[in-house]
Structure 1
Amino acid sequence: MTGLSQLVKAYDVRGVVPDQWDEGLAELFGAAFVTVTQADTIVIGYDMRPSSPGLSRAFARGAAALGTSVTEIGLCSTDELYFASGRLDMPGAMFTASHNPAQYNGIKMCRAGAAPVGEDTGLAEIRALVEGWADNGAPEPVAVPGSITQRDVLADYAGYLRHLVDLSGIRPLKVVVDAGNGMGGHTVPTVFDGLPVDLVPMYFELDGTFPNHEANPLDPKNLVDLQARVIAEGADIGLAFDGDADRCFVIDERGEPVSPSAVTALVAARELAKHPGSTIIHNLITSWSVPEVVKEHGGIPVRTRVGHSFIKQEMARTGAVFGGEHSAHYYFRDFFNADTGMLAALHVLAALGHQDGTVSELVAAYDRYAASGEINSTVADQANRTAAVRAAYRDRPGAAVDDLDGLTVATADWWFNLRASNTEPLLRLNVEAPDSDTVARIRDEVLAIVRA
């Protein structure tokens, strides 16, 4: 069986349909998933991509053929699937390719209680089974297949999120939301229903061909429409969701993006007010401001690798109340240690609505440094270029070097991280310093070596 090495990633399954995978392969993944998780029951959801319903149903057939009962929740966001997995205590599978272009699709899988399934926690075994069955024939179905039933959990999901954030008494807010034709268009109306919010929807029509822009708010060009609309509407805030609506990006009243690190620090401070002395997880690319704010509010910051499976494992290990990443993934202990952009958005709305200032004023205390953002360089030999950067900085006075995730070099005045992509011949650079001139200097120094 060829092609699965390109299809099965470190955290999920993702590839082009039908070139790299199809409903026949999805059926094998369903059988492999229930074999590895030893599940009697599972829950499945899917996004708005044209291929999602068929792939999802094929996965359900593969699971049911081995005797597992399947609950289908239909169209949903990824965090809605995590909610269902946590609330129903079932392993789950979400059919989505997140922010990838329309021709892609994938599967995000979790164990009961929304515990992650990654390369080291079951995904490698699932891949091995699928490869074997693809070469030698599908597993023999059991005599009595499992049932396949449908259940709508959207209202329960919305109610659960609203239960976790005190939105009582907030002032009226004008909120522009860009769903990017993704699943935010499905979840936002129900979650926001009844709030004192004048909702201005953008691209709420579910359309997995993404006719307006890619559903990837991490790319600045996909925020342009929202930024302009916030200004035109005189809105208090803008929110942008990615395709499967598990990430949320914030735009302030001036149309300027708010750093996900600032959102992480803000939410961390709110969670520490409810749970004094708790642990907060942050990945190594989040701003220095995050551990600073956590300590100032009496919490314990824990630095970890990039990626949801690492964050979730650390959340479980440490009992952390909250975790945040530079990519706008936000994780909550009260949400089964899973990531939910919607819950983070509600925290920001609550913080904004319970005071009279603007978003820019609200986040100013949490946005303390200049940053480069993630800069990608295409390189033929990632290890060689990384080694060259290490050699250039390891003996620099006052510099500390660590290898937690890629190469991080830090001094009292600046830090940078250089990480290799798991799926492309890229090196990703992030730089932070107190001022933009220092960021530019370090950025240019490192890129000169990377791109030599």
Structure 2
Amino acid sequence: MAPKFGTSGLRGLVTELTPALVEDHVRAFLAACDTGGAICLGWDLRPSSPRIAQDVIRAAASMDVAVIDCGAVPTPALALAAQARGAGAVMITGSHIPADRNGLKFYVRSGEITKEDEAAITAALGTTPRTDTAPETQADPDCGARFVARYLQACGTGALRGRRIGLYSHSAVGRDLMAEILTGLGAEVVDLGRSDIFIPVDTEAVDPEVRAQIADWVAEHRLDALVSTDGDSDRPLLADETGAIVPGDIMGQITAAALGAETVVTPISSNSGVTAKGFAAVQRTRIGSPFVIAAMEAAGGKVVGYEANGGFLLGFEAEGPKGSFAPLRTRDCVLPLVMALIAAGPGPLSARVAQEPPVVTLADRLQEVSQEASQPFVAALASDLEARATFLAALGGSEAAVDLTDGVRITLTDGRVVHVRPSGNAPELRLYVEAQDRAGAEALLQAGLAELRRRLG
């Protein structure tokens, strides 16, 4: 399908992200949004990203906008660099989706673009270039180093001393910076699974083969934990000393408490145990960082946000073990990884995770399901009580309540939750489930996926 805005930027097939389309969207962004006359530019390690970077540079030059070339860097590192300069930013990434797709993430001077900004960009498509000036760029070779320093200064060089941590590097753009951060905090780092070929890693729905490989690595190398990220390194992946994956929203709960947050903003798909954590306020939103950021800005004060994929957004100047973290209102993978590991102390990570409220959430997806198939199915669930009853009967449950904030989230009479949502910009149908224990959640997830496959093929 044609490139379009979804929960996190503009995405589409590489074959459809032509130079003309990319340049049109970048010119529209520069015409419609406040960038202060400059943008920081970064990209992930997909084969198509360097070419798209040149398209962005040409478009910026045609609008008399300066480009600060940050190179291949994590999205949060790019956002931090732009924030320090008072500039906008463009990150070229498709995040966790396969290499045949890519995308653009746009940042104004205040941070990630809003849904209103997306509408303004769309309305400005077709903007005429202002000049035919040759592209000029200014390099920022220290972008990554400043990102590393953020965590070393706030956490202290001995924060993870004595810990043996695996780093599943694969093709994540932040793999080397992550190794620097962990080593700088005192951990012994074991690099694993590094790849020159792009590997899509979804931290919210980790493939069974990847889970098995992680468990094998943890056992083989006697690791205290294993960490990884998605392609643009804004979403974390964490496994404990048994090889079990720690859900991203559990990392969010732990990190929010460790930083002294008073208000937590998180999408409706996140673990509902957060409401039992004692925060002054918990706000649930639609899925996607723009919705989380909008609610954070409205709340103000000591506010944080996080998503089920683990990306953490810091809305206030928070104290770490040795120093402070400046606000960074974009998804960051490092903060939740580091704070969860520090919160575990000298004991096993699994013991710290076990202290969280006893609610288990799991997620997976059906891939290659067209929106022409998924959207009518989800719309029928939303509007038809009988359709929901039929769907739930196949899962051995019945409806107690339904929430239509984003997709269809059904609470069953026994307290379990089933949440179905079509992707906004990929041929995928997401399924989120919640239960009081892992066995129950896994059984519900598998039953739900089987029923969705039967209905959608």
User: For the superposition of Structure 1 and Structure 2, which TM-score range results when normalised by the shorter chain?
Assistant: 0.7 to 0.9
- Distance in structure 2 (CA, Å) of the matches to 1:443 and 1:169: 39
Is residue 2:206 matched to residue 1:219? yes
1:405 corresponds to which residue?
406
What secondary structure is seen at the aligned counterpart in 1 of 2:227?
strand
What secondary structure is seen at the aligned counterpart in 2 of 1:429?
strand
The one-letter code sitting in structure 2 at the alignment partner of 1:121 is E
CA shift in 2, pair 1:326/1:390, >3 Å? farther
Does the Cα contact within 8 Å between 1:172 and 1:196 map onto a contact in 2?
Answer: yes
Residue among 274, 288, 293 paired with 1:312 = 293
Matches within 5 A, 1:354-373: 355-366=345-356, 368-373=358-363
CA shift in 2, pair 1:121/1:203, >3 Å? farther
Is residue 2:374 matched to residue 1:384? no
Is residue 2:417 matched to residue 1:415? yes
The one-letter code sitting in structure 1 at the alignment partner of 2:288 is G
Matches within 5 A, 1:325-344: 325-333=307-315, 334-344=326-336
CA shift in 2, pair 1:390/1:279, >3 Å? farther
- Distance in structure 2 (CA, Å) of the matches to 1:340 and 1:21: 26
Deviations 1:309-336 (A, max 9, x none): 1111112111253222112222112432
Matches within 5 A, 1:137-148: 138-141=128-131, 147-148=136-137
What secondary structure is seen at the aligned counterpart in 1 of 2:90?
strand
1:261 corresponds to which residue?
249
- Distance in structure 2 (CA, Å) of the matches to 1:49 and 1:158: 23
Equivalenced residue count is 427
- Distance in structure 1 (CA, Å) of the matches to 2:427 and 2:150: 41
More displaced stretch, 227-236 vs 365-374 = 365-374
How many angstroms does 1:106 deviate by? 1.3
The one-letter code sitting in structure 2 at the alignment partner of 1:201 is D
2:342 corresponds to which residue?
350
More displaced stretch, 183-192 vs 358-367 = 183-192
CA shift in 2, pair 1:423/1:53, >3 Å? closer
Residue among 275, 279, 290 paired with 2:274 = 290
CA shift in 2, pair 1:102/1:292, >3 Å? same
Is residue 2:190 matched to residue 1:194? no
How many angstroms does 1:393 deviate by? 5.4
Is residue 2:318 matched to residue 1:322? no
CA shift in 2, pair 1:305/1:163, >3 Å? farther
How many angstroms does 1:391 deviate by? 5.6
- Distance in structure 2 (CA, Å) of the matches to 1:151 and 1:371: 40
Is residue 2:173 matched to residue 1:173? no
2:393 corresponds to which residue?
none
Is residue 2:106 matched to residue 1:109? yes
Does the Cα contact within 8 Å between 1:375 and 1:429 map onto a contact in 2?
Answer: yes
How many angstroms does 1:216 deviate by? 3.0
CA shift in 2, pair 1:28/1:424, >3 Å? closer
How many angstroms does 1:451 deviate by? 4.9
- Distance in structure 1 (CA, Å) of the matches to 2:161 and 2:8: 40
What secondary structure is seen at the aligned counterpart in 2 of 1:418?
strand
Where does the alignment leave 5 or more consecutive residues of structure 2 unmatched? 316-325, 391-396
CA shift in 2, pair 1:16/1:268, >3 Å? same
Residue among 35, 39, 43 paired with 1:42 = 39
- Distance in structure 1 (CA, Å) of the matches to 2:157 and 2:305: 21
CA shift in 2, pair 1:86/1:224, >3 Å? farther
- Distance in structure 2 (CA, Å) of the matches to 1:100 and 1:204: 18
- Distance in structure 2 (CA, Å) of the matches to 1:16 and 1:179: 25
The one-letter code sitting in structure 2 at the alignment partner of 1:369 is V
Does the Cα contact within 8 Å between 2:30 and 2:60 map onto a contact in 1?
Answer: yes
Where does the alignment leave 5 or more consecutive residues of structure 1 unmatched? none
1:121 corresponds to which residue?
116
CA shift in 2, pair 1:426/1:23, >3 Å? closer
The one-letter code sitting in structure 1 at the alignment partner of 2:265 is I
Does the Cα contact within 8 Å between 2:167 and 2:179 map onto a contact in 1?
Answer: no
What secondary structure is seen at the aligned counterpart in 2 of 1:368?
coil
2:319 corresponds to which residue?
none
The one-letter code sitting in structure 1 at the alignment partner of 2:25 is F
Is residue 2:239 matched to residue 1:242? no
Does the Cα contact within 8 Å between 2:399 and 2:410 map onto a contact in 1?
Answer: no
Residue among 48, 52, 56 paired with 1:55 = 52
Does the Cα contact within 8 Å between 1:267 and 1:344 map onto a contact in 2?
Answer: yes
TM-score, normalising length from structure 2? 0.84
CA shift in 2, pair 1:408/1:325, >3 Å? same
How many angstroms does 1:189 deviate by? 2.9
Residue among 65, 71, 74 paired with 2:68 = 71
Does the Cα contact within 8 Å between 1:71 and 1:148 map onto a contact in 2?
Answer: yes
CA shift in 2, pair 1:370/1:110, >3 Å? same
- Distance in structure 2 (CA, Å) of the matches to 1:93 and 1:154: 16
Deviations 1:129-173 (A, max 9, x none): 44x36xxxx52416x678421112111111123334356454411
What secondary structure is seen at the aligned counterpart in 2 of 1:374?
strand
What secondary structure is seen at the aligned counterpart in 1 of 2:363?
coil
What secondary structure is seen at the aligned counterpart in 2 of 1:71?
strand
1:270 corresponds to which residue?
258
CA shift in 2, pair 1:360/1:20, >3 Å? same
CA shift in 2, pair 1:156/1:442, >3 Å? closer
